[in-house]
Amino acid sequence: MNNNYELYKVFYWAAKTGSLTQAAKSLFLTQPSVSHAVKQLEDSFGLTLFYRNSKGVSLTQEGAILYSYIEQSQILISLAEEKMAALKNLDSGELRIGGSDSLFKHYMLPYLEDFHQQYPGVRLHLNHGTTPEIITFLKEGKIDLGVVRMPIVDAQLEVRESIQLKDCFVAGERYAELKDSVLTLEMLMQYPVILFSRNSRARMAITELFLSFGHSLKPEIEVGSVDLLIEFARRGLGISYVTREFITKELEAGSLFEIQLDVELPPSQVGIMTIRNMPISSSASKYIELISRHLT
């Protein structure tokens, strides 16, 4: 037995109002349509569901049993509709984003703060990782979107370009004699170089650049976070390779200065990843819209 849901809806409103006429008004149907729907349902069960009288209709014993089930389903459907409306209006729900620690702290934080102020009912879940890990999280459905450095070449992913970043080598006061100098790559390699230890896009890009000039860049110190890259350089442990946009305060304060090189370091682009041809949640759509609005 596979009755149309509309038949149960007509039955519910007829039982709830005790009137086929009122049920018709509630459902914006004609009374003959309601009567026909009730008869179809009764015929499908082979049972009488209503007593007809001059005042309207009342449930038979069998009809009352059916109503006890249908009433629960209607309540759940109403709750589901309210939940969908809340999700659409971003009164509830969640936003799951993947990205690196540095991108969360130095790039996404203002947008996350803005989003949270606008939609406080939406829970934020941040998943930290390298670009390959973020791609895996996205494909496994653990996050709604990922924010990573480009380029990303994957047919399953759609990547929207965001801000451009510029990486540079920086040092602290211990290497003050280099402030007015322009170094070659060979000269730079005479000093202790500090790089991010994980397989980041920035680490891969600078390694490839040195290889293109015939040099193998081997750091003296490897660290696990951008904050340590900054702090180690500031304390004079070596020359760190960091993103310029992440150290504006240190450069302005003079605790770090940029090492000038005789070659141009390539910029990098931040991208927002989603699964191609897959609908995204309302919260993810709003977050992407918020970022795009700030960039225009």
Residues 61 and 125 in one domain: no
Instruction: For the chain, 296 residues long, give each residue's pLDDT as a single digit of tens.
Output: 677 889 999 999 999 999 999 999 999 999 999 999 999 999 999 999 999 988 899 999 999 999 999 998 988 888 788 777 777 778 888 999 999 888 998 889 999 999 999 999 999 999 998 888 999 999 998 999 999 998 888 999 999 999 899 999 999 999 999 999 999 999 999 999 999 876 777 888 899 999 999 999 999 999 988 899 999 999 999 999 999 999 999 999 999 999 999 999 988 899 999 999 888 888 999 999 999 887 76
Residues 262 and 283 in one domain: no
Q: Where a domain ends, among 65, 88, 111? A: 88
Residues 24 and 39 in one domain: yes
Beta carbons within 8 Å of 284's beta carbon, 6+ residues apart? 95, 144, 145, 274
Both structure tokens of 242? 């960091």
pLDDT at 50: 95
Residues 260 and 186 in one domain: yes
Q: Is the peptide bond before 192 cis (omega within 30 degrees of 0)?
A: no
Residues 156 and 273 in one domain: yes
Residues 79 and 149 in one domain: no
* Interatomic CA distance for residues 136 and 156, integer angstroms: 11
Residues 229 and 138 in one domain: no
pLDDT at 271: 93
| CATH at 101 | 3.40.190.10
Domain range for 140 is: 94-164+269-295
* Interatomic CA distance for residues 72 and 14, integer angstroms: 16
Q: What does the DSSP 8-state code read for residue 48?
A: -
- Buried b / exposed e across 252-273, counting CB within 10 Å, b at 16+? eeebbbbbebeeeeeebbbbbb
Compute φ and ψ for 153, nearest 5 degrees.
Answer: -115, 100
pLDDT at 79: 79
Q: How many domains does the chain have?
A: 3
* Interatomic CA distance for residues 206 and 195, integer angstroms: 10
Q: Where a domain ends, among 39, 73, 88? A: 88
Residues 185 and 60 in one domain: no
pLDDT at 38: 94
> Which of 89, 38, 80 shows the shortest CA–CA distance to 60?
38
Q: Where a domain ends, among 50, 68, 88? A: 88
Residues 98 and 235 in one domain: no
Long-range contacts formed by 70-79: CB under 8 A, 24+ apart: 70/8, 70/11, 70/12, 70/15, 71/12, 71/16, 73/8, 74/9, 74/12
CA angle 287, 107, 191 (to 5 degrees): 155
Residues 258 and 197 in one domain: yes
pLDDT at 1: 61
Residues 213 and 224 in one domain: yes
Residues 130 and 178 in one domain: no
- In order of 2, 7, 8, 34, the CA distances from 41 in angstroms are 11, 6, 8, 11
pTM, whole model, 2 decimals?
A: 0.68
